[in-house]
Amino acid sequence: MKYCFDEVIERRGTNCIKWDYTKEIFGKEEILPLWVADMDFSVPPQVQQELEKRIKHPVFGYSGVPDGFKESFINWMQKRHDWSVENEWIIANPGVVPAISLAINTFSEEGDKVVIQPPVYPPFFSTAEKNKRELVLNPLQETDNGYEMDFDHLKKNIDSRTKMLIFCNPHNPVGRVWRENELEELVRICAEKDVLLVSDEIWSDIIMPGFKHLPLAKVADKLAYDGVITCMAPSKTFNLAGLKASATVIPEDKYRAKFIDLAERFGMNKVNMFGGITFTSAYNYGEDWLECLVSYLDENMDFLIKFLGEKLPAIKASKSEGTYLVWLDFRGLGLTDEDLVERMVHKARVGLNPGFSFGDQGKGFLRINVGCPRPLLVEALERIEDEFKNG
């Protein structure tokens, strides 16, 4: 392979959340961390080179969004997702979670209702709650075909105070890449009930072979619904999460003007100097690297699923359609969540995300991140096997 994803790069000592904060997060230092959603891989070489070029210039004063920032994004969306985005629809922000929080504050008031679909990325809960919005849970349903949205439940749980639904497309942690008919149904319901859709598409580029990401706004456009705000970023795709740069896409003028107004008031209509450079160069030069990355992640996922099937059949998992996360079902072991986490951290010495942090629907699950060199994945799985082989 052209890029070496097997290389284990020492990340300890870089103030890295995944490796350096294990004591604070798990209460134990010596664990193999396969939890928080970043990867243990170096960025595409061209991205590193662009950054080095800028760092060699020793003045780091105020800087604007780089020339080519929006163009790189427009070209990427067209090429990868067949979505035509216009220049003026794009707003630069310092991350997707800040953009979601801005959207909550722009389009709803304290006490209004915000719908989320657990099990789901924990900041969907906390951004709504910390902004004093009432959370409405529309849990995904477990079916023989995997997780699905529960549209009947959604229809019944929207009322006049429901202003927005925060949608995870593709879905973290269950790894669904939503199909067109599912997206259409979601849009129809929200259009009919006048609920804005904030579509978090940060995972849209990590799509396993055989699946295709569909931007929700594209589906909504076909159905003549203009209430979609899309949050995108290159941070999962190219492993740039520490650089804090994202793009929010709002085609409808009236919504965009309100969002920009609040972003300006909070000084959140900007990206960090280095984030702007890496955003632009990753979208311009990273496609070939991404193709290799996705093949590697796909093989990691196959390896994981085969390993569990052969050696730990009581732990159920299916391959994710998108993301580099896999949702592991330990319910067959009959453990309490406390025991499960205790044994995983203190006996197996592997750091995974507890399922309950994604909502009550995640009880009995753990989330594993396969965005790591295969030798680390093998080591983690062998440790898990040693601890859980007898139940």
Tell whether residue 165 is a contact of ligand PLP (CB under 6 A).
Answer: no
Provide the pairing of β-strand 353-354 with 365-369. antiparallel
Of 172, 248, 300, 353, the one binding ligand PLP (CB under 6 A) is 172
Q: In terms of CB distance, is 272 or 284 closer to ligand PLP?
A: 272
Binding mask 216-255 for ligand PLP (x = CB under 6 A): -----------------x-x-----x----x---------
Which residues are within 8 A (CB) of 65 and not within 5 positions of it... i.e. 6 or more apart? Answer: 92, 270, 271, 276
Span near ligand PLP by CB under 6 A; candidates 95-103, 174-182, 290-298, 344-352: 95-103
Distance in Å, CB of 340 to ligand PLP, minimum? 22
- Residue 274 vs 388, nearer CB to ligand PLP: 274
Q: Which is nearer to ligand PLP, 183 or 241 (CB)?
A: 241
Q: Which is nearer to ligand PLP, 34 or 168 (CB)?
A: 168
Q: Name residues contacting ligand PLP, limited to 325-384 (CB under 6 A).
A: none
Cα–Cα distance, 146 to 178 (Å, whole number): 12
For 147, the enclosing helix (H) or strand (E) is strand 146-148
**Other CB atoms within 10 A of residue 132 CB:** 12
User: Is 31 or 166 the residue whose CB approaches ligand PLP more closely?
Assistant: 166
Helix 96-107 and helix 253-265, axial crossing angle in degrees, nearest 10: 110
* Closest distance of CB 225 from ligand PLP, Å: 22
Q: Which of 31, 32, 34, 37 binds ligand PLP (CB under 6 A)?
A: 37
Tell me, by CB under 6 A, how many residues bind ligand PLP.
13
Residues contacting 234, CB < 8 A, separation 6+: 205, 240, 245, 278, 279, 282, 283, 286
Q: Determine if 95 is a binding residue for ligand PLP (CB under 6 A).
A: yes
168 lines the binding site for ligand PLP (CB under 6 A): yes
Tell me: does residue 301 bind ligand PLP (CB under 6 A). no
CB of 320 to ligand PLP, least distance (A): 13
Q: Which residues, 6 or more positions from 357, have their beta carbon under 8 angstroms from its beta carbon?
A: 122
Length of the chain: 391
Supply 146's token pair.
Answer: 């995997």
Distance from C-alpha of 276 to C-alpha of 245, rounded to nearest angstrom: 6
Piece of the chain touching ligand PLP by CB under 6 A; list 54-62, 92-100, 105-113, 177-185: 92-100
Residue closer to ligand PLP, measured from CB, 41 or 388: 41
Tell whether residue 96 is a contact of ligand PLP (CB under 6 A): yes
Which spans in 45-150 are helix H? Answer: 45-56, 69-81, 96-107, 123-130
Question: Which of residues 348 and 352 has its CB atom nearest to ligand PLP in the complex?
Answer: 352
- In angstroms, the Cα distances linking 275 to 73, 188, 201, 279 are 14, 36, 18, 6
DSSP track, 276-319: HHHHHHHHHH-HHHHHHHHHHHHHHHHHHHHHHHHH-TTSB---
Q: Which chain residues interact with ligand PLP by CB under 6 A? A: 37, 95-97, 121, 168, 172, 200, 202, 233, 235, 241, 246
